[in-house]
């Protein structure tokens, strides 16, 4: 017997992906030359699987601010926010986020994962309820476990199912936090947010929206799907990450409730984790200013999204969402087909994400493409051409 025996099923799943060539999971990059170009196994590829939605990782202002902070404040804080890790810029970034939403409370966490875990485990506790979408991110599930609250799932994006489960809670619905995402990262689909708001209001529940993949992508100021639908006055908490549109690493929670600041005294991930490095915070502040100050990046991203969705649909691919978004998930029939698509796409110079069970909802096998405002028309042409070639090869193989 060994403590490692429980990992045997994972080892077998990983071995099923072994083949001659670059690893399709945790693919090693030898070089990153720009937001849209990298090198894998000596070959330059278009990066279409990086969540770099606004393409800000190499923006001169982001690099300059991060470099200045690195040179003047050092490489790290070496402490948590509750100890020696609260630098002026940490507070300034929180002010920037609060002002962007025009809300009184904003907290910065060291990762997006920790933002969900830190908020859910502190704001909801024993005797209260978390009611979460079944397709929620792992960080949401882990936050639920840490909270020791009653956790109930409702069917993915199912308004009627949420309504029934809140009704069964009766008066306890008033001590229930409903959790949904602004964009689900595997399939790229969006929630019926206005309908969810109507249901939670009718039952007196609370609502948290995780805008990790929708922040920067939707809304006039890029604040996410909640802003896009004009529902900022209807939610209680918004959680987001710096590692997508903001081109860094970290996470945040904003709230219209001033009492949300009390989480600083109770959130263990916030209290006991070293704060983000000065360079990360400075770069994120610069990226946030770019994100909220204009529409040009979002216009280009939405142009790219629309083109790719339309082309993939015309080619006969089954997409994970019927609404164009920064994630285009191609649903494939099995692991072998998904792996073959990933290999062939890489051979044609396009890096995408291979997503297979158990990481995917409903046991689906996916080829996941994520788009960026930095992708040019020629990049999108090349991705569409590669998808067309894959479709043609598969059709010929079936005919043969």
Q: How confident is the model at residue 46 (pLDDT cuts 50, 70, 90)?
A: very high
Q: How many whole angstroms separate alpha carbon 263 and alpha carbon 229?
A: 28
Q: Are 302 and 372 in a shared domain? A: yes
Which residues constitute the domain of residue 155?
60-293
Give the C-alpha distances (Å, rounded to integers) separating 139 from 143, 178, 266, 339.
6, 15, 18, 26
- Residue 349 has a pLDDT of 97
Q: Are 123 and 240 in a shared domain? A: yes
For residue range 64-120, what is the model confidence (pLDDT) as tens digits?
999 999 999 999 999 999 999 999 999 999 999 999 999 999 999 999 999 999 999
Q: Are 275 and 358 in a shared domain? A: no
Q: What average pLDDT does range 214-238 have in this prediction?
A: 98
Closest by alpha carbon to 107, among 214, 219, 229, 258? 258
Three-class SS of residue 345?
Answer: helix
Q: What average pLDDT does range 290-317 have in this prediction?
A: 96
Higher local confidence (pLDDT), 9 or 167: 167
Give the C-alpha distances (Å, rounded to integers) separating 385 from 155, 252, 310, 375.
36, 38, 13, 15
Give yes or no for a contact between 68 and 260, defined as CB atoms under 8 angstroms apart: no
Q: Are 273 and 187 in a shared domain? A: yes
* Token pair in block for residue 300: 């280009």
- Residue 378 has a pLDDT of 98
Q: Are 341 and 266 in a shared domain? A: no
Q: Are 138 and 39 in a shared domain? A: no
Torsion from C-alpha of 235, 237, 241, 245, nearest 10 degrees: 30
- Residue 25 has a pLDDT of 85
CATH, residue 300: 3.90.1150.10
Is the torsion defined by CA of 39, 45, 47, 50 positive or negative? negative
Name the domain count of the chain.
2
Residues in a beta bridge with 132? 153, 179
Q: In this structure, is residue 2 part of a structural domain?
A: no
Closest by alpha carbon to 283, among 65, 52, 56? 65
Q: In this structure, is residue 1 part of a structural domain?
A: no
Q: Are 225 and 92 in a shared domain? A: yes
- Residue 394 has a pLDDT of 64
Instruction: Quickly count: other Cβ atoms within 10 Å of residue 341's Cβ.
Output: 24
- Residue 184 has a pLDDT of 97
Q: Are 64 and 41 in a shared domain? A: no
Give the C-alpha distances (Å, rounded to integers) separating 12 from 2, 6, 9, 25.
17, 11, 5, 14
For residue range 165-212, what is the model confidence (pLDDT) as tens digits?
999 999 999 999 999 999 999 999 999 999 999 999 999 999 999 999
Q: Are 280 and 324 in a shared domain? A: no
Q: In this structure, is residue 54 part of a structural domain?
A: no
Is it the case that residue 297 has pLDDT exceeding 90?
A: yes
Q: Omega of the bond prior to 47 within 30 degrees of 0, cis?
A: no
Q: How many whole angstroms separate alpha carbon 227 and alpha carbon 230?
A: 5
Q: In this structure, is residue 52 part of a structural domain?
A: no
CATH, residue 203: 3.40.640.10
- Residue 391 has a pLDDT of 79
Is it the case that residue 398 has pLDDT exceeding 70?
A: no
Is it the case that residue 234 has pLDDT exceeding 70?
A: yes
- Residue 10 has a pLDDT of 84
Instruction: Quickly count: other Cβ atoms within 10 Å of residue 100's Cβ.
Output: 18
- Residue 275 has a pLDDT of 98
- Residue 300 has a pLDDT of 98
Q: Are 380 and 247 in a shared domain? A: no
- Residue 212 has a pLDDT of 98
Helix segments in the chain, DSSP class H: 8-15, 60-73, 88-101, 112-123, 138-147, 159-169, 193-203, 225-228, 268-271, 278-293, 296-314, 335-347, 377-399
Q: Are 216 and 281 in a shared domain? A: yes
Q: How many whole angstroms separate alpha carbon 119 and alpha carbon 121?
A: 6
Closest by alpha carbon to 275, among 107, 116, 119, 85? 85
Q: In this structure, is residue 126 part of a structural domain?
A: yes
């Amino acid at each position: 017997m060994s403590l490692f025996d429980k990992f045997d099923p994972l080892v077998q799943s990983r071995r099923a992906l072994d083949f001659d060539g670059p690893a399709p999971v945790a693919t090693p990059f030898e070089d990153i030359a720009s937001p849209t170009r990298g090198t894998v196994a000596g070959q330059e590829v278009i990066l279409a699987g990086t969540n770099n939605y606004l393409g800000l990782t190499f923006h001169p202002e982001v690099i300059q601010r991060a470099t200045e902070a690195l040179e003047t404040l050092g490489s790290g804080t070496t402490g948590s926010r509750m100890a020696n890790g609260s630098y002026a810029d940490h507070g300034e970034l929180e002010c920037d986020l609060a002002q962007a939403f025009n809300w009184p409370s904003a907290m910065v966490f060291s990762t997006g994962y920790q933002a969900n875990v830190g908020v859910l485990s502190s704001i909801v506790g024993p005797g209260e309820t978390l009611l979460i979408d079944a397709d929620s991110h792992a960080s949401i599930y882990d936050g639920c476990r840490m909270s020791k609250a009653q956790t109930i799932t409702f069917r993915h994006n199912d308004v009627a199912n949420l309504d029934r489960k809140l009704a069964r809670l009766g008066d306890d619905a008033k001590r229930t936090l409903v959790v949904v995402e602004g964009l689900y990262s595997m399939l790229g689909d969006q929630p019926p947010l206005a309908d969810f708001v109507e249901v939670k209001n009718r039952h007196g529940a609370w609502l948290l929206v995780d805008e990790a993949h929708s922040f920067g992508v939707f809304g006039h100021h890029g604040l996410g799907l909640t802003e896009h639908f004009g529902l900022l006055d209807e939610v209680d908490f918004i959680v987001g990450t710096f590692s997508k549109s903001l081109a860094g690493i970290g996470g945040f929670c904003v709230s219209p409730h001033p009492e949300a600041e009390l989480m600083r005294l109770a959130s263990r991930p916030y209290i006991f984790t070293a704060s983000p490095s000065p360079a990360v915070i400075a770069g994120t502040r610069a990226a946030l200013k770019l994100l909220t100050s204009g529409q040009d990046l979002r216009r280009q991203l939405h142009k790219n999204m629309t083109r790719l969705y339309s082309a993939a649909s015309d080619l006969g691919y089954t997409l994970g969402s019927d609404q164009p978004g920064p994630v285009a998930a191609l649903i494939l029939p099995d692991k072998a087909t998904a792996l073959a698509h990933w290999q062939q796409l890489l051979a044609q110079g396009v890096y995408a994400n291979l997503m297979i069970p158990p990481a995917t909802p409903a046991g689906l096998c996916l080829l996941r493409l994520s788009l960026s405002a930095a992708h040019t028309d020629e990049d999108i042409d090349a991705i569409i051409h590669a998808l067309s070639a894959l479709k043609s090869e598969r059709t010929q193989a079936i005919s043969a």
